[in-house]
Structure 1
Amino acid sequence: EGSECILCPVNWLKHRGKCYWLSEKIRNWQNSRDDCLTNNSQILVVQDENEMAFMRNITQGSNLVWIGLSVSIPEKKWIWANGSRFDEKLFKIEGPPNQNSCVAIRRNDIQSETCNAQYGFICKKNGF
């Protein structure tokens, strides 16, 4: 405990063994997801409240940014980019899960947006 030394690529932020990149590029949700994959990472899937607190901290003062939540069709349920179901106890999303909805965040602002909207995004990968 505590002696682990992880490294992240330049311009990536370190937090609890993971690396995060807050992109300044503006993309729709699908292109944001693809851009993360190109960087050997994935669009952010929030694992727990600690990670969500870290996200709130690094997105304060920024514009909205995409995270890896979108609506599954035809169920119209929130689902993470890795296929896992969203736990509604983790945080509240403002707005309904419509057919073409994805989630963007900025500090305490977590909202449903059309997936075609253009925002920055957050990628995540394991440290090395």
Structure 2
Amino acid sequence: MTTLRNFLITAALLANACLPGAAQAADTTAPAQLQHWSSQAGSPGNGARGQAFFNAKHGGEWSCASCHGTPPVQDGKHASTGKKIAPLAPAFNPRSFTDSAKVEKWFRRNCKDVLSRECSAAEKADVLAYLVSLKP
């Protein structure tokens, strides 16, 4: 019985840790991500290019703005599922760009949705430069 009880307690703790909104330690910041991608690109991100990129459809149905809004400072909504998306601009969402694994995952997934390919380091740096420039 004790083993089952310990198993259930452990399972509950793990489930709570995996819930959306569960407390997680931040391992990065938006400015650190901007520096990383600028370094990878070999030049600093350009906010004006990032804004144009964010709002463009790139030949498909969606742009970044299709789900995140223009500007991305309020809750967005996934274009096909309707799922709520927290504000993308870091000044409006303190959790934005604070988890390196999520940054990698969502850049990869969203770039493939919008561009049908992964974004280049320069494109990521430009978009981050735009997002970091947005202030309340």
Both proteins in one fold, TM over 0.5: no
Which structure has more relative contact order (CA 8 Å, sep 6+)? It is: 1
Q: Which has the larger radius of gyration?
A: 2
Higher strand proportion: 1
Higher helix proportion: 2
